[in-house]
Amino acid sequence: MEEIVKRKLLTGTGIVGVSLLLAASPALAQGNTEASAIVQTVMDNLWVFIAGILVFFMQAGFALVEAGLTRSKNVANIMAKNIADMCIGVLAFYAVGYAFAYGSGGGWFIGGGSWFLSGSSLFELPAATLGEDGIWASGGLSGATDFFFQVVFAATAVTIASGAMAGRTKFSAYLMFAGLMTAFIYPVVVHWTWGGGLIAEYINWGDAGSYSDFAGSGIVHLTGGVAAFMGAKALGPRIGKYDEAGKPRAIPGHNIVFTVIGVFILWLGWFGFNPGSELAADGYVMSVALNTLIAAAAGGAVSAIVVMAKTGKPDVGMVGNGVLGGLVGITAGCGAFNTFGSLITGAVAGALVVYSVLYIEKKGVDDPVGAVSVHGTCGIWGVLAIGLFSRYDDAFLGRDDAGLFYGGGLDQLSVQAVMVVIIIAWTAITAGIAFKIIKKTTGLRVSPEEEAAGLDISEHGAAGYHLETTN
């Protein structure tokens, strides 16, 4: 996101590091703004690193949610896929993905010229800069900090697809797709948006300055959600998911405790995902965090109400997905909404999750964990919500009052809609081709016998659980 100008630290906004330094040195207290800017740079990098750690930890949350909502005979396979997502994601993004996303050697379609992080100043912090107003400003992020934060996002994008493909996918086939997703499919979307390419450069008109997607409702989650849909479609449903008449059967997950703990880990990690995307330790971080918190709570509450109205019971897994849907929905607008806009966005996302899960299931697409609905459906909603509820400048919008409900008209909404269409089309085409090639070469799905025995045994040679008995 280096090409994107983020909000500068407002005059009077303090951080702990600066305050302590100024208190310790009378010279600085007298107005050494250059030194203050240097300290700010250090604090910015430290905060983004911490935020990246939180996003990294989300991988554990995804693993637990996915494992809990599926059968016990596949738990080792699920854990293996989530480990692989991070390992392959880091290596693929390091080798070519980061260059495709942010490399300066490309054009509107794809970046280039920074293979294996070549040419990047990884370890030196950028120097403080003197603005035209004579005020020193933070120097921004080091190459290492920026890469670390970006690569954990890439791993998140591919992990989304894992859940929808659970219980019937060859491990080797999944590894191939994970590599392609983090090396090419996702980085191209990033280049078109955060990297200053197609969408950032050409999709703007009227009063809409540009698209807006603060932390990735569309860029990360919709991309992952569409890939999840294409994977589930290519695989077909699990054995026994539909009866002879085509009516879906419930296949309960084996561990609701895993699911709930996973949801809470993901919720925690989102406080790195969204506030970290400010890319600075400034006064807006807590505003973004608060919007994230409120939207998640609203998503969980509304999903509980909707599922109770439809089934008579507050299904715990569905409520957990409602929380996650609220988080996905607010990811685009967390820097541009007030708290009321965040509440509405999360509430709508919570309802959408329930209806989307039931609709997709009815249409014959077997998504064991609801990944398509949580990340795809709610990702679409999050991107479009920018055109309705945007109230503040989030460094993409370039102005106040951008949303329809705040006097901005339909321009921003239409820009966001075009962005949604482009992301869906790109991901569906590329992921569809990838799955078709894998299917015709190595094969995508395990045999019926292997699926019945469980992927833990057939793919990894050992059960995920071992129950020891004594005589």
The DSSP code sequence of 188-240 is HHHHHTTTSSHHHHH--BTTB-S---SS-IIIIIIHHHHHHHHHHHHH-PPTT
In the predicted model, what is the mean pLDDT of residues 122-147? 88
The pLDDT-based confidence of 137 (bands split at 50, 70, 90) is confident
88 vs 77: CA distance, rounded Å: 16
Within a 10 A sphere around the Cβ of 450, how many other Cβ atoms? 15
Higher pLDDT, 134 or 392: 392
Q: Identify the weakest region by mean pLDDT among 51-55, 195-199, 201-205.
A: 201-205
Whether residue 239 has pLDDT greater than 70: yes
Strand, helix or coil for residue 169: strand
Residue 10 lies in a domain: no
Q: What pLDDT sits at residue 34?
A: 85
Residue 462 lies in a domain: no
Residue 345 lies in a domain: yes
Strand, helix or coil for residue 55: helix
In the predicted model, what is the mean pLDDT of residues 155-178? 97
In the predicted model, what is the mean pLDDT of residues 35-63? 96
Q: What pLDDT sits at residue 54?
A: 98
Strand, helix or coil for residue 456: helix
Q: Which residue in this structure is represented by tokens 């750690």?
A: 53
The beta-strand segments (E) located in 320-466 are: none
The pLDDT-based confidence of 301 (bands split at 50, 70, 90) is very high
Instruction: Determine if residue 443 is left, alpha or beta; phi over 0 gives left, psi from -120 to 50 gives alpha, anything else beta.
Output: left
Whether residue 220 has pLDDT greater than 90: yes
Residue 225 lies in a domain: yes
Bridge partner list, 137: 129
Alpha-carbon distances, residue 299 vs 173, 248, 304 (angstroms): 34, 25, 9
Q: Which tens digits make up the pLDDT trace of 410-439?
A: 999 999 999 999 999 999 999 999 999 999
Alpha-carbon distances, residue 275 vs 59, 138, 216 (angstroms): 18, 18, 12
CB 301 within 8 Å of CB 77 = no
Whether residue 134 has pLDDT greater than 90: no
Q: Identify the weakest region by mean pLDDT among 101-115, 190-204, 251-265, 350-364.
A: 101-115
Whether residue 24 has pLDDT greater than 60: no
CB 303 within 8 Å of CB 322 = yes
Q: Identify the weakest region by mean pLDDT among 126-140, 257-271, 312-326, 362-376.
A: 126-140
Q: Which of 15-29, 49-63, 196-210 has the highest mean pLDDT?
A: 49-63
In the predicted model, what is the mean pLDDT of residues 331-352? 97
Half-sphere exposure of 321 (CA within 13 A, CB side): 33
Whether residue 470 has pLDDT greater than 80: no
The pLDDT-based confidence of 318 (bands split at 50, 70, 90) is very high
Q: What pLDDT sits at residue 393?
A: 87
- CA 257 from chain centre, in angstroms, equals 23
Q: Kindly state the percentage of the chain with pLDDT values over 90.
A: 79
Q: Kindly state the percentage of the chain with pLDDT values over 70.
A: 92
Whether residue 330 has pLDDT greater than 80: yes
In the predicted model, what is the mean pLDDT of residues 292-304? 98
CATH code of the domain covering residue 437: 1.10.3430.10
Q: Which structural domain range is residue 224 located in?
A: 16-23+32-121+130-444
Strand, helix or coil for residue 248: strand
- For 5, list phi and psi in degrees, rounded to 5: -80, 115
Indicate the number of domains in the chain.
Answer: 1
Higher pLDDT, 123 or 434: 434
Q: Identify the weakest region by mean pLDDT among 230-244, 374-388, 390-404, 412-426.
A: 390-404
Q: Identify the weakest region by mean pLDDT among 19-28, 180-189, 245-254, 269-278.
A: 19-28
The pLDDT-based confidence of 402 (bands split at 50, 70, 90) is confident
Q: What pLDDT sits at residue 288?
A: 97
Q: What pLDDT sits at residue 3?
A: 38
Residue 469 lies in a domain: no
Looking at the chain, the number of H-run helices and the number of E-run strands are 19, 2
Bridge partner list, 196: none
Q: What pLDDT sits at residue 284?
A: 94
Q: Which residue in this structure is represented by tokens 């109230």?
A: 391
In the predicted model, what is the mean pLDDT of residues 169-186? 98
DSSP codes, 252-316:
--S-HHHHHHHHHHHHHHHHHHTGGGG-S-STTHHHHHHHHHHHHHHHHHHHHHHHHHHHSS--H
Q: What pLDDT sits at residue 351?
A: 98
Residue 251 lies in a domain: yes
In the predicted model, what is the mean pLDDT of residues 220-237? 98
In the predicted model, what is the mean pLDDT of residues 135-148? 92
Task: Report the mean per-residue pLDDT for the chain.
Answer: 91
Residue 460 lies in a domain: no
Higher pLDDT, 392 or 216: 216
